[in-house]
Every structure is written in C-alpha cells, then in structure tokens.
Structure 1
C-alpha cells in the first residue's frame, strides 16, 4: 500500500514539474500571456490535487496501520496498531496535524510561481542562443 501511494505521489509531482514545460513547447502566438494563464490554471489544479492526495494518502495509511481516528483516548486510538508500526503511525499523525491541505496548496502554488518564471526566461535564452547559432 505504501509503495502504491508513493508512486502516485511521485507521478503527481512529476506532472506538476512537466506540464509547464509541455505548455511552453506547444505555444506559438502570444506566448507570455497564454503561457501564464494556462500554466497557472493547470498548476493550480495539479497542486490542489497533489496536496489533497497527500492528506488522503496519510489517512489511508493510518487506517491501514490500524489507527482508530475516532478513538477517544490513546488506548482506543492505538489499540489496533502493531508495535512495529507505532513510530510510523505517530510520524504520520504528526504530519497531518497543523495546517490543512488547502493552506498547503496555497503555499505550494506560491512556491511554484518562480518555477514558471524561470522556465519562461530559460525558453527565451534558449531561443536567442539558437537564433545566434543559426546566423
């Protein structure tokens, strides 16, 4: 179960990193405006899916390890958790406490905006290098 969740998480992260590059390669006219709008929209959707999936996968793993999310005290919460998995469960429990996944999505979106800008600048630089080498 853990491996399937990790694979899905890495695929979503790969999509977040690759989609702006694919959009940049496909666009021909009004490249700045179209790239900005398309990449921001798709990036927002992918980041929301990614952060939601991280939260849901943690809940799935907790349930898989026997964690009782509806327990009233520590004995009820951890009664079905094997002692081998206790440290993993406590780490996952700590990671889901704190800020919620929508707020993580907002922070993730703000973090990836410079990535989009760097990709666009890199595209401009590569185009200019190609034009200089042709002439």
Structure 2
C-alpha cells in the first residue's frame, strides 16, 4: 500500500517536471503571435492543477494508510480510534497522525506554487535557447552540405 502511494506521488512529481517541456514542444509546432504569454498562461493552469492534485493525494494517501492500519478517525475518543490498530503499527500510526496535523492540503499547494513558478520560466528559457541553438546547427549543416 505504501509503495503504491509513493509511486503515485512520484508520478505526479515527474509530471510536474516534464509538463512544461511537453507544453513548450506542443506550442512550438504552431506559430503563435505571443508564444511566451500563451505558454505561461497554459503552463500556470496545467501545473497549478497538478500541484493541487499532488497536495490532495498527499493528504488522501495519509488518510488511506491510516485506515489501512486500522485507525478510524471518525470516533471522538482515542481508545476507540486505536482499537483496531495492531501493536506493531502504533509507531507508523503516530507518525502518520503527526504528519497530518498542521495546515490543510489546499494551503500547502498554494504555498508551494510560488516556489514552483520560477521553474516554468527557467524551463521555457532553457528550451527556447536550446531550440535556437539546435536550429542554428541544423542550418549550418545544411549550408555546409550545399558547398
């Protein structure tokens, strides 16, 4: 169960890393008047959705693991919550309960996004200069073949 939760978190994280590059390549195939603005708007929308999904999944997977280990958070007192938890899982339950405390997942996502946003600009600039450099190499190779 923990492996599946971790795999889904990594898949969402990898999609956050790869999505600006895929979006740049998709927009480069079309000729738009203002490609950077279109890239920025669509990248912000797509990646903000992915950040929200990642934050939600992080919260939901903690709840899922708690219920998997027998912890029931619907009861009011601690003894009823912990009555189905095996003794060997008490440390895991306490760790998961502590990680669940604090701010909620929407606020975590909103607070994470300002740190992620510069990556969108850096990824665009990197892909832009890489595409310019590779197109210059291709044009130089075509010129050298013609001689």
Tell whether the structures are fold-level matches, with TM greater than 0.5.
yes
Task: Identify the residue that residue 85 of structure 2 maps to in structure 1.
Answer: 81
Alignment coverage as a number of residue pairs: 135
Task: Identify the residue that residue 63 of structure 1 maps to in structure 2.
Answer: 67
Q: Give the TM-score normalised by structure 2.
A: 0.84
Q: What runs of 5+ residues in structure 2 fail to find an aligned partner?
A: 141-147
Say which is worse superposed, 124-133 or 31-40, in terms of deviation.
124-133
* More RCO (CA 8 Å, sep 6+): 2
Q: What runs of 5+ residues in structure 1 fail to find an aligned partner?
A: none
SS at match of 1:70: coil
User: 1:45: Cα distance to partner?
Assistant: 0.9
Q: Give the TM-score normalised by structure 1.
A: 0.90
User: 1:16: Cα distance to partner?
Assistant: 1.3
Task: Identify the residue that residue 94 of structure 1 maps to in structure 2.
Answer: 98
- In structure 2, C-alpha distance between the alignment counterparts of 1:51 and 1:33, rounded to whole Å: 26
Task: For 1:2-81, list aligned pairs within 5 A.
Answer: 2-28=2-28, 29=32, 30-81=34-85
1:127 equivalent in alignment to 2:123: no
- In structure 1, C-alpha distance between the alignment counterparts of 2:20 and 2:134, rounded to whole Å: 21
- In structure 1, C-alpha distance between the alignment counterparts of 2:131 and 2:72, rounded to whole Å: 56
- Cα RMSD over matched residues? 1.5
Say which is worse superposed, 54-63 or 4-13, in terms of deviation.
4-13
User: 1:114: Cα distance to partner?
Assistant: 1.0
